[in-house]
A and B are shown apart, each in its own frame.
Chain A
Amino acid sequence: MIIAEQKPLDEIKGLIADAENVLVVGCGTCVTVCFAGGEKEAGILATSLRMTSKLDDAPKEVTHTTVQRQCEWEYIDPLADEISAADVVVSIGCGIGVQAIAERFPDAIVVPGLNTTFLGMPTEQGVWEERCAACGECILGLTCGICPIARCAKQLLNGPCGGSQDGICEIDPDTLCAWQLIYDRLKAQDRLHLLTEIQPAKNWSSSRDGGPRRITREDLRLEAEAAE
């Protein structure tokens, strides 16, 4: 899922400095699960902004609402009235949610309340780790289910660099060396021969390097939309 964390309150205050009416919009999907931008966090943020604006002698009207998914029109369309009444909308969805609201409501001033950080998962209560870089050409079949694009600091495709020591990546004592993990797993599965094959230069055109990406599934499109 998409992992995000809330921006520092001072930064959010700066983003809404000129507004009197502020609407905080939470999202009920990924950012709820990672405790960054769900209904509960929307309420806490709205309260914090209200209180801090009072302390600053510039009280603001801060309301909040949460939709099931900020990244689909059908869930955000019902917010039209609330959004038009607000001077600024603070989206605490991921970056997709912020942009969806901006795209759907051309007059709205929308600012992000979160930093969208990575595609990952919780590895223990309170700890999330990156797992996928959405490179568009999955190689997990070659690396026994451990992604060196997302998890090696240098995105190496042909084994560990010289900075792998005791299973740890040289850049950070809390980061495991992805290639040590791959090696250990392939060894345990008696498939080390996979590591002797040279992986050629990767085609990055399916990644972000190829520009903004788009998938079109003609079999799923509705006729009217397809004709547009």
Chain B
Amino acid sequence: MTEAQSNGYKSGSRLERILRDGHFAVTGELGPPQSSNGDVIREKAKILLGYCDAANITDNQTAIVRMSSVGAGTIVVQEGLEPIIQMTCRDRNRLAMQSDLMGAYALGMRNVLCLTGDHQSFGNHPTAKNVHDLDSLQLLQMMVGMRDEKLFQCGDEIKGIEPRFFLGAAANPFGDPFEYRPYRLAKKVEAGADFIQTQLIYNVPRFEEYMEKVHDLGLHEKTYILAGVGPLKSPGMAKYMRDQVPGLDVPDEIVDRMTTATKGIDKEDKKARREAWRSEGIQITIELIQKLRDIEGVCGVHVMAIEWEEAVKPIVEGAGLMPRPEVTALPAASTETGE
């Protein structure tokens, strides 16, 4: 029933068609501003357009209040870039998530990434009450139910157009318990994750270890896995991510490369040092993509260049991922829509 209603696609999003056509997908990331300035979104969308197949629109990332992902996503759609709406369980209960996502669908959004959300203690409203009515798996289940069963979470029928999203989830291959991580991924796939975007990967051998288990469980055949990468801006950032961010694994070798990138450059020449670091950060990302691309089951990369959207172009070009492919046109909808 649902297949007929949806032209054979789950949502028919550009991302879904790219992946289904077997192309190596590229997704980017666009962080909305801490203001109501839509021009910031437009400018970032212009930078990313053409260099990624879709861009994640973050949802109060790191628990800092920003323009809503659906609001920003609306502008992104207008700019011709395809958004992946991030939705966290931290700020909304099941009523709010269903209503916001029905609105997002009506506004032309077709991809959703279902997330738990960073704890509010990390953000700028640490005294806030969090929600966590659902967890990310239950959010996935709810959105699958709305799409494939035409049911609200409570079991009531959606009488009318159901929100049909290509549904994603996050995976952190480096969180603990390490041995459990593939099984947690399996649960997300079982809950209905059509695609997975991973946490930032710097330690490729450890990610390969994780992927071996993913292969054993056959998960790479049931979902599209996009490996997360992101350019480092400085040795300080590399060290901070290595030492301070839980769930991130940055090998010393990467930190050393960032540190030695400024060798031979005058310490006072801050501009040249900054450029050298950024150039090395981009080069490391390109090399990581080339290695990750060879791993069986990696269907694309998710390039997280937060507040450095300009880096996406040289990374995607350097990794040989340009031009981005044209997508298969959507077939005409079946007339059996029941509307």
A residues whose Cβ falls under 8 Å from a Cβ of B:
153-168, 170-171, 177, 179-180, 183-184, 192, 195-196, 198-202, 204
Residues from chain B with Cβ under 8 Å of A196 in the complex: 183, 186-187
- Beyond A160-B176, A160-B180, 15 additional contacts (C-beta under 8 Å) are A154-B89, A154-B130, A154-B135, A156-B135, A158-B136, A159-B180, A159-B187, A161-B116, A162-B172, A162-B246, A162-B247, A164-B176, A164-B246, A180-B176, A198-B191
B residues whose Cβ falls under 8 Å from a Cβ of A:
89-90, 94, 116-119, 121-122, 130, 132-138, 141-142, 153, 170, 172, 175-177, 180, 183-184, 186-187, 190-191, 199, 246-247
**Could you say which of A161, A165, A166, A201 contacts B134, with CB atoms under 8 Å apart?**
A201
Quick one: given A154-B135, A201-B134, are A160 and B190 in contact (CB under 8 Å)? no
Indicate if the CB atoms of B247 and A170 lie closer than 8 Å: yes
Indicate if the CB atoms of B184 and A160 lie closer than 8 Å: yes
Q: Output the nearest chain A residue to B183 by Cβ-Cβ distance.
A: A196
Indicate if the CB atoms of A183 and B119 lie closer than 8 Å: no
Residues from chain B with Cβ under 8 Å of A204 in the complex: 133
Q: What are 17 contact pairs spanning A and B, CB under 8 A?
A: A154-B135, A155-B135, A158-B135, A158-B137, A159-B183, A160-B175, A161-B172, A162-B170, A162-B175, A163-B246, A164-B175, A165-B247, A184-B177, A198-B137, A198-B191, A199-B137, A201-B133
Could you tell me the distance between the alpha carbons of A199 and B135 in the complex, rounded to whole angstroms?
10
Could you tell me the distance between the alpha carbons of A165 and B177 in the complex, rounded to whole angstroms?
8
Residues from chain B with Cβ under 8 Å of A202 in the complex: 133
Residues from chain A with Cβ under 8 Å of B176 in the complex: 160, 164-167, 177, 180
Indicate if the CB atoms of A161 and B175 lie closer than 8 Å: yes
Residues from chain B with Cβ under 8 Å of A167 in the complex: 176
Q: Output the nearest chain A residue to B185 by Cβ-Cβ distance.
A: A159
Residues from chain B with Cβ under 8 Å of A171 in the complex: 119, 121-122
List 9 tightest A-B contacts by C-beta distance, closest first: A162-B172, A165-B246, A170-B246, A162-B247, A158-B137, A162-B175, A201-B138, A155-B132, A159-B184
